[in-house]
A and B are shown apart, each in its own frame.
Chain A
Amino acid sequence: MMVMRGYLPPLLAKAASVLPLLPLELAARRLLANAMAARPSFARRLGEYSGRTFAVDPADCPFVFLITPDEGRTAVHMARNLSGAAYDARISAPLLVLLGMIDGTYDGDALFFSRDLMIEGDTGAVLALRNAIENAELDPSSVLGLPKSVCGPFNRATEVFFDDLRRMLDAPEPSGPNRKAYPA
């Protein structure tokens, strides 16, 4: 059976379940605001899907992000689970894999084909989000809002850290093409 790869150790996930959501939500809002400020065309690229709500669901974590990207204002909420939550599409994968999609380490299609990523709901919205993220070329320093002078060394150090972590947690290899593709 094909299973998602790159899960955080269960102990870590359990520890995360006792964290209060509010500080996490505030941090997530800050990071997303940094990213949107660094890439102002992001929401425009979503086109008709701007304003839709995406449930970003780290499969190995006891929380879910509900993100509504929009030009001008992007809303972020966190929840313990999705029961009762309204959303247009859900994207689920281990946290490390989701992070790897943000910085272009992974090809989203390849992850989906290899069953390392699951989507549900409005497929058009998911594709629009994936393509907007791809075009944003986000890196750790822009998400954290760091000054330009430290971006290079910081990004390189982060890359090494995540490479090691991916290997340690048996996450998918950074992508190559996959055997099944979009209509040609």
Chain B
Amino acid sequence: MNAPSTLRGPELVCPAGTPAGLRTAVDAGAHSIYCGYADETNARNFPGLNFDRTEMREGIAYAHERGAKALVALNTFVRAGAMDIWKRGVDDAVAAGADALILADIALIAYARQAHPKQRLHLSVQAAAATPEAIAFYRDRFSIARVVLPRVLTVEEIARLTAHAAPCETEVFVFGGLCVMAEGRCMLSSYATGKSPNMTGVCSPPSHVAYRDEEDALVASVGGFTVERFSKDEPAGYPTLCKGRFLADGTVSHLFEDPVSLNAIELLPRLAGVGVTAFKIEGRQRGRAYVAAVVQAFRRAVDTMAAGRKIDVAELRALTEGQRDTTGAYKKAWR
């Protein structure tokens, strides 16, 4: 239990939304993949995604045969009266050979620790553990081996948290969709649709998303709320309330900033330098073409860094359409 990573450099944790996506990520050089069951137990409960029990066993075996680890996300909060669904998920993932479970619900964590004392457990970003005290509680009470940090921290904050968290490892997001909220505590999707990533595993559930063409724009709405108008000369996006563009006091603007992709490639050496163990790539819902391109590029970057050479930042930046990306909160006080 809780054996630290044995890799020479940081671990690259890559998305696997489907069995085919898992194979793509592993073949592209993922050190670890993360995935979940096709139900409300995982925070990427989108239609057509995820794994049934057989696919999970086969997927984990595929990863292991090629030297990669498999992390199974059961990172939603348990619905009252339905604990058995989540417990069964934990038991099945352990039986399937998961190298770690990624959990958020404190009662589920307690169950997993009690029922499977030797199982490695990671704390999901959904648990929103962003203080030394919170991380210490999970580490000391449940032997949590790694905590996935929220995307709203600066590098300096990550450094302090990582120092306090030891021997618990830290994992940070380095690429992909950028959640600008305190994950696990955001109620915007619930407010608009009655469903949320926290309970049902979907932020802006596609069943509540609609696009309509108007004369000069593509209009996107969530739960009947119009949150974005894409003019004909700009890229479209998936509508979420937090990333919408709104008119207030005569000015149209995003709530936080233009929702470009997170790309922390230039910060990898600093993040590794402050002791971060694992770099996570977001995107279980993206296609194999995306997964292959991003994982290959990041694996090259991590290997280059481990060899003591300088990372080619431009190569990865070229992967983002229009060369537009952001280092998110890592380089600024965002809140």
Q: Which residue numbers of A lie inside 8 Å of B, CB to CB?
A: 1-2, 45-49, 104-110, 112-115, 118-120, 122-132, 134-137, 174-184
Contact = CB atoms under 8 A, between A and B. Distances in A.
A108 B285 CA distance: 10
B287 A113 contact: no
Contacts of A104: 287-289
B176 A181 contact: yes
Contacts of B151: 184
B176 A134 contact: no
B49 A131 contact: yes
B57 to A, nearest CB: 15
Interface stretch (B81-89, B133-141, B160-168, B204-212): B204-212
Nearest to A132: B48
B319 A182 contact: no
Contact of A177 (B49, B235, B290): B290
Nearest to B260: A179
Interface in B126-183: 151, 173, 175-179
A71 to B, nearest CB: 14
Nearest to B325: A179
A177 B175 contact: yes
- Interface band, chain B: 35 or more
Given A112-B236, A134-B21, A179-B322, 6 more contacts: A2-B235, A123-B211, A176-B294, A177-B319, A181-B286, A183-B204
B240 interface: yes
Contacts of B289: 104-107, 110, 174-176
Given A45-B48, A177-B176, A134 B237 contact: no
Contact of A184 (B176, B293, B320, B325): B176
Contacts of A105: 289
Interface in B195-221: 197, 203-207, 209-213, 218
B235 A179 contact: yes
Contacts of B275: none
A129 B48 contact: yes
A116 to B, nearest CB: 10
B232 interface: yes
Contacts of B209: 123-124
Interface stretch (B12-20, B62-70, B93-101, B106-114): B12-20
A183 B238 contact: yes
A180 B287 contact: no
B286 A109 contact: yes
A125 B210 CA distance: 12
A177 B261 contact: yes
A10 B212 CA distance: 27
B249 to A, nearest CB: 25
B47 A128 contact: yes
Contact of B290 (A110, A119, A127, A128): A110
Contact of B20 (A114, A135, A180, A182): A135
A175 B48 contact: no
Contacts of A128: 47-48
Given A123-B209, A124-B206, A178 B18 contact: no
B210 A123 contact: yes
A124 B47 contact: yes
Contact of B235 (A47, A114, A122): A114
A180 B21 contact: no
Nearest to A125: B47
Nearest to A112: B236
A109 B235 contact: no
Contact of B238 (A129, A177, A180): A180
Interface centre among A49, A110, A118 (most CB of B within 10 A): A110
Given A1-B233, A183-B240, A177 B286 contact: yes
A127 B206 contact: yes
7 contacts: A109-B290, A110-B289, A131-B285, A134-B18, A137-B288, A178-B320, A183-B177
Nearest to B186: A183
B299 to A, nearest CB: 15
B43 to A, nearest CB: 10
A142 B107 CA distance: 47
A158 to B, nearest CB: 17
Given A131-B48, A134-B20, A177 B204 contact: no
Given A124-B205, A175-B289, A177-B319, A47 B48 contact: yes
A129 B206 CA distance: 12
Contacts of A48: 47
B47 A127 contact: yes
B259 A180 contact: yes
Q: Among A47, A183, A184, which residue has the most Cβ atoms of chain B within 10 A?
A: A183
A113 B321 contact: yes
B18 A135 contact: yes
